[in-house]
Amino acid sequence: MDAREQALRFQPNRRDWVVLDQAVVDRAPPILEAWSRAELADAFKAPDANFYRGDTIQELAKAAGLPAATLAATVEAYNYGVHTGNDVFAGKHLPVKLQKAPFYAIRHQETSITSTAGVAVNDRLQVVRRDGSAMSHLYAAGEILGSGATQRPAVCGGMMVTSALTVGRLLGERLIRFA
């Protein structure tokens, strides 16, 4: 399982943070396509539960309600990863070190768009009742099977597409044979 994905599972309240510095803000495309740089700057000025700003990492931590030592250590580890090319979470895109004040944080709330629970099927992909008997002419494939059947504890969106296509194709082939 991907280290970043697993780390998200253990974050308090399933929350993570995007941390930027002024150099990233100056060089990166807008966070939202329709936003200008001025609108982005305004988002960090207004009191909000999602956008925070600080002149130092410690001020940013205080504004966002994060442990200052932990945030400082995380930024230091990220900067070390940029310098060495060896990010602790195996990140591939490490554009620049975070060192130019002011610093920004955007709160990100993890969510799942799938359910771990789904309908039960037999080896012919027929939907089965609680007693295990198959329902006549009712088959299932894809997300209706639930992510627990295909992803286990994964939290990355889109991970069910491959299994949905694969199981859907198997079901289609099976139905053609039985038609």
Q: Does domain 3-109 have CATH number 3.90.700.10?
A: yes
Residue type at 39? E
pLDDT of residue 122: 92
Q: Cβ(170)–Cβ(141) under 8 Å?
A: yes
Q: What residue segments make up the domains of the chain, in order of their start?
A: 3-109, 126-178
Which residue, 149, 148, 125, is CA-closest to 138? Answer: 125
Q: How many CB atoms lie within 10 A of CB 61?
A: 24
Q: How confident is the model at residue 151 (pLDDT cuts 50, 70, 90)?
A: low
Long-range CB contact pairs, 61-66, < 8 A, 24+: 63/105, 64/17, 64/105, 64/107, 66/17, 66/105
Give the strands of the sheet with 103-109, arranged side by side: 15-21, 103-109, 51-54
Q: How many residues does the chain have?
A: 179
Taking the model in full, what pTM does it have? 0.61
Q: Cβ(112)–Cβ(155) under 8 Å?
A: yes
User: Mean pLDDT across the stretch 124-142?
Assistant: 91
Which residue, 148, 147, 19, 143, is CA-closest to 72? Answer: 19
What confidence tens digit (pLDDT) does each residue in 17-73 have?
889 999 988 887 776 777 777 777 777 777 677 899 999 999 999 999 999 999 999
pLDDT of residue 58: 97
| 120 contacts: CB under 8 Å, gap ≥ 6 | 127, 128
